[in-house]
Amino acid sequence: VGCGAHGLVYPVNASGFSTLTDEERLRGARIVVEQNAGRIPVVVGVAGLCAEHAAMFSREAKGMGGDAVIAMTPYVNKLRDEELIVDYYRAIADAAELPVFIQNHGVGSELSVGTMVRILREVEHVEYIKEETMPATHKLSQVLREAGDDLKGVFGGAGGRFLLLEHPRGVAGQMPGCHITDVVVRLWNALEAGELAEAKRIFGMMGPIFAIEVQYPGVIYKEVLCMRGVTQSARARHIPDSLDEEDRRALKEIMDDLEPLLMWRG
């Protein structure tokens, strides 16, 4: 919130939701809602192993005061049948009675534009998409064309790596990991203000952290949060400590270069 974010999302892929127990997921989400104290919208991650599992999380999200929910399709036994996919999102929407984001990500089943448009049209409360399958830019444009008024907005992912390309196509927002939220906020604000040269300058400064993130998925988020004083340790469940001394030197240099863009300092 202190970094200028317009909303909070927890728990999803960057949060390592799939390594948490159900109780841990719910406890973490409640803490986020309580600490936010109504300042900005909170979107609660409710992806489940099946429709019933996701519906349980959705009911809890509503009860704790979440403003919306977001879900990929099941991420262990992936759904292939479109009817089952529609039913999955209907179970979430019926349980939450809140705005629903479809998170289109390869960890779940990769959804076609046609399937997403059908869900938007047939399932009440499903109003938004977070698009993270490739090519994200083409899917963004296509779903905006085909969904019409059934779609309130498409958000980008991938940590903001495609934001310069997504913004001219009409993306409604960006949902990155939280380790450099303030930098992504500066990039978004520059784009919204029409300051393209400034946006490109900021994006250029972000290039090195994008490069190291791709090599160590999930690891860099935790390392940076620890470096910035948000957490006391970078250890994470099911993620090995894969950085060597040169990686750590490079990451420190990257963060030193980003220092002028940081809004929050622990």
CATH of the domain at 48: 3.20.20.70
Q: Are both 71 and 168 inside the same structural domain?
A: yes
Q: Are both 133 and 243 inside the same structural domain?
A: no
Q: Are both 129 and 77 inside the same structural domain?
A: yes
DSSP state of 101: E
C-alpha 90/C-alpha 119 separation (Å) is 8
Name the percent of the chain lying above pLDDT 70. Answer: 100
Residues 6+ apart with CB under 8 A from 69: 43, 44, 45, 46, 57, 58, 61, 92, 96, 98, 99, 100, 101
Q: Are both 141 and 204 inside the same structural domain?
A: no
* 172 is a domain residue: yes
Q: Are both 35 and 137 inside the same structural domain?
A: yes
C-alpha 45/C-alpha 60 separation (Å) is 11
Last residue in a domain, options 149, 178, 207: 178
Strands (E), the chain: 8-10, 42-45, 68-71, 100-104, 126-131, 153-156, 173-174
Q: Are both 162 and 91 inside the same structural domain?
A: yes
Q: What is the pLDDT of residues 109-152, one digit of tens each?
A: 999 999 999 999 999 999 999 999 999 999 999 999 999 999 99
* Tokens at 89, concatenated: 């999102």
* Tokens at 204, concatenated: 């250029």
Q: Are both 206 and 171 inside the same structural domain?
A: no
Which residue segment(s) compose the domain that 107 sits in?
Answer: 8-178
Q: Are both 209 and 127 inside the same structural domain?
A: no
C-alpha 129/C-alpha 265 separation (Å) is 32
pTM: 0.96
Per-residue pLDDT in tens (0 to 9) along the chain, 266 residues: 999 999 999 999 999 999 999 999 999 999 999 999 999 999 999 999 999 999 999 999 999 999 999 999 999 999 999 999 999 999 999 999 999 999 999 999 999 999 999 999 999 999 999 999 999 999 999 999 999 999 999 999 999 999 999 999 999 999 999 999 999 999 999 999 999 999 999 999 999 999 999 999 889 999 999 999 999 999 988 777 789 999 999 999 999 999 999 999 87
C-alpha 257/C-alpha 255 separation (Å) is 5
* 187 is a domain residue: no
Last residue in a domain, options 152, 178, 204: 178
Tally of CA atoms within 13 A in the half-sphere of 143 that contains its CB:
37
Q: For position 170, what pLDDT does the model report?
A: 99
Q: Are both 151 and 204 inside the same structural domain?
A: no
Q: Are both 45 and 163 inside the same structural domain?
A: yes
The domain total for the chain is 2
